[in-house]
Amino acid sequence: MGAVLAHSSFFCYLICMKKILITAFEPFGGERINPAQAVLERLPEAISGAALYRSVLPVSYRKSAVLLLEQIERVRPDAVVMLGQAGGRAKITPERIAVNLDHCEARDNDGEQRIDSVIDPEGPAAYFSTLPVHAMLQEMRKCEVGCAMSASAGAFVCNHVSYEALHYISRMGYGIPAGFIHLPYLPEQAEGKPGAASMPLSAMVHAVQAALAAIADSF
């Protein structure tokens, strides 16, 4: 009987845990690694009582948001955190705004280029992140890594999925906090790129864990 009760209690614990859906992108732009995916693979199963559900997204305008929205429906998370690479940035940067625009000279991994293309003609011009970004920054700074707020996620696939996620959550009335975090190059990516900033993987993992803890503690 004791074993049955213990099993039941553990099952209830799993069911009752808060859930954070965290996504990252595959490599793109000729890179063999994406720091976001590398961080995702090294995160624990749970942080501050919240279970982490992971998903790697394709760097594709057409496919990325479709997969992300499917994951939101499958997991029914209490928060959505999206990670991506921002080569050239020296700091980890939570994004404050996602804009209703796809515009980048670079092509996605399907070879598609979008210039001055509205994501949703009926959607608002932008959404603010609904994550507790200030609390996240406060906790990340305790890790003694470079981090700062960013007002622009650009207009490539990172911004695209951030806008699509926030727009979907708003339309569905889910009330799920969601937002995007950009990560610098890894040191091995910065090799051969004069002046390119980078950050060790261990530092990024530590900082992202701190940000996730701040999110979990805000529930």
Please answer whether residues 167 and 158 qualify as being in contact, where contact means their C-beta atoms are separated by less than 8 angstroms: no
Rounded distance, CA 16 to CA 132, Å?
22
Q: Where are the beta strands (DSSP E) in 123-216?
A: 126-128, 178-183
Catalytic residue among 104, 143, 164, 182: 182
Does residue 23 come out as left (phi exceeding 0), alpha (psi in the -120 to 50 range) or beta?
beta
Rounded distance, CA 91 to CA 52, Å?
24
**167 catalytic residue (yes or no):** no
Catalytic residue among 143, 158, 160, 167: 158
Active site residues: 95, 158, 182
